[in-house]
């Protein structure tokens, strides 16, 4: 991507050093995390990590997710998380683990002025449901897990394009392409009109490959194989 690209890059992860490094490079305009990423990063104190991240990055959006399963507890967690900073977006899954819709909670939080990120969305119907309850005057994010759609063998781009259209009546709502799998997804998301894409550290590193001549990449690959064979001490 370039600095004049329309789509915004949000770094996806839970390693504070990587978050700070991504911010310092200047291309990243926000951050997302979730309980799974936090667990993989070895985080045991949710609030302490969040406050440390917000102290290090006070000027860009950061999305933190609730982890309760009952809606009253979700609401309590959401209000607490939102109180940590003006740059906080609270991630609310589209359903709980029993498949019960979270739209009533999203509506309640939006009415209270809480910036929400409605997450784990995979269908256009879910996007439409979120659009019905979000407020036009409160910033929000709708996260379509395009990578997970692709994991099923379906092309996520038609869903994403239609989702962008569904959010147009909400001027402060942004569509986010989630579960990015490869660098190509950044260009697909931008072509679909997506506002934001989450990018894990391993994909951010591949930005240096953008438009690299394929002959040069082929030679680099051959050199990698040769270098690794020598390092392994292989002989025949």
- Of all residues in the chain, the percent with pLDDT exceeding 90 is 91
Partners of 90 in the β-ladder: 64, 116
Over the range 55-93, which residues count as b (16 or more CB within 10 Å of their CB) and which as e? eebeebbbbbbbeeeebeebbebbeebbebbebbbbbbb
- Taking only the tens place, the pLDDT of each residue in 185-209 is 999 999 999 999 999 988 888 888 8
pLDDT at res. 2: 45
pLDDT at res. 3: 45
Report yes or no on whether pTM surpasses 0.85. yes
Q: Average pLDDT in the 138-142 region? A: 98
Q: In the structure, what pLDDT confidence band is assigned to residue 93 with cuts at 50, 70 and 90?
A: very high
Structural domains of the chain sorted by starting position, each given as residue range(s) with its CATH number in brackets? 8-209 (3.20.20.70)
Yes or no: say if 159 and 153 are a contact pair by the CB < 8 Å rule. Answer: no
Yes or no: say if 86 and 110 are a contact pair by the CB < 8 Å rule. Answer: no
Q: Exposed, middle or buried by CB within 10 Å (0-12, 13-18, 19+), for 107?
A: middle
Q: Cα Rg for the chain, rounded, in angstroms? A: 19
Yes or no: say if 94 and 100 are a contact pair by the CB < 8 Å rule. Answer: no
Q: Give the Cα separation of 97 and 100 in Å (integer).
A: 7
Mean residue pLDDT of the chain comes to 95
Q: Nearest CA to 220 among 79, 228, 106?
A: 228
Determine how many CB atoms are found less than 10 A away from the CB of residue 106.
Answer: 27
* Backbone φ, ψ for residue 168 (5° rounding): -60, -35
Q: Give the Cα separation of 30 and 9 in Å (integer).
A: 7
pLDDT at res. 5: 65
């Amino acid at each position: 991507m370039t600095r004049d690209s329309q789509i915004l890059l949000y770094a996806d992860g839970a390693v504070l050093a990587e978050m700070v490094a991504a911010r310092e490079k200047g291309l990243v305009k926000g951050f997302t995390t979730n309980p799974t990423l936090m667990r993989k990063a070895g985080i045991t104190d949710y609030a302490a990590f969040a406050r440390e991240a917000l102290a290090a990055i006070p000027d860009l959006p950061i999305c933190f997710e609730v982890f309760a399963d009952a809606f009253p507890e979700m609401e309590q967690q959401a209000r607490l998380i939102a109180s940590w900073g003006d740059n906080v977006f609270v991630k609310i899954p589209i359903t709980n683990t029993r498949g019960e819709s979270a739209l009533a909670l999203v509506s309640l939080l939006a009415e209270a002025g809480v910036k929400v990120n409605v997450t784990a969305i995979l269908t256009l119907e879910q996007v439409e449901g979120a659009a019905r309850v979000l407020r036009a005057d409160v910033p929000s994010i709708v996260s379509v897990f395009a990578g997970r759609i692709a994991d099923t063998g379906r092309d996520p781009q038609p869903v994403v394009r239609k989702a962008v259209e569904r959010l147009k009546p909400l001027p402060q709502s942004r569509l986010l392409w989630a579960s990015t799998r490869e660098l190509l997804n950044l260009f697909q998301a931008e072509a679909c009109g997506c506002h934001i894409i989450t990018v894990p550290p391993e994909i951010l590193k591949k930005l240096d490959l953008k438009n690299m001549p394929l002959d040069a990449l082929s030679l680099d690959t051959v050199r990698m194989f040769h270098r690794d064979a020598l390092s392994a001490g292989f002989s025949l």
